[in-house]
Amino acid sequence: MIVFDLLCAPSGHVFEAWFASSDAFETQKSGGMVCCPICSSHDVGKALMAPNIASKSNQRSLTAGRVDNSDTKTMLAALAQAQAAVLENSSWVGRDFATQARAMDAGEIDKTSIHGEASHAEVKSLIDDGIQVAPLPLPVIPPNQSN
């Protein structure tokens, strides 16, 4: 796993996200699955990151100018808890998300809470057709890929 600092281009929001690899980030980004957790924009890219280089053990820690991220971490933790509660009562439908959402909208199957994967084009088409969908603010690991 690798963590990236991501930057929301329209509003300048910076946030962290974990990915299996750099290629996984690119695949998810091109598939429209990466979005800003604050404003839901899909115009997100990697922010500049400083490498984590271990310091010498005889150097003192520098605290001047350090940003306190405790509020951000608290907010993301609360967001993760809320998302987990929603997903607990939702069914994973994988790549069949767009088809299931359309079938529910047409009354072909009972309406229920679902989550899954959809390309940016599929999501745009659903929204254009008046079908309500919302991106999940934090990445969701498909059940067949979790430990």
Contact, 146 vs 121, CB < 8 A?
no
134 in a domain, yes or no? yes
Note the helical H segments in 1-147.
22-30, 70-88, 97-105, 120-128
For 17-60, the pLDDT digits (tens) are 888 888 888 888 888 889 988 888 889 988 876 665 666 655 55
Full residue range of the structural domain in which residue 95 is found: 83-142
Count of structural domains within the chain: 2
Which is it for the CA torsion 74, 80, 81, 83, positive or negative?
A: positive
29 in a domain, yes or no? yes
99 in a domain, yes or no? yes
Amino acid at 133: V
66 in a domain, yes or no? no
Nearest to 15 by CA among 66, 86, 63, 79: 79
pTM over 0.75: no
55 in a domain, yes or no? no
60 in a domain, yes or no? no
63 in a domain, yes or no? no
State the Cα–Cα distance between residues 31 and 25, nearest whole angstrom: 10
Are 87 and 136 in the same domain?
A: yes
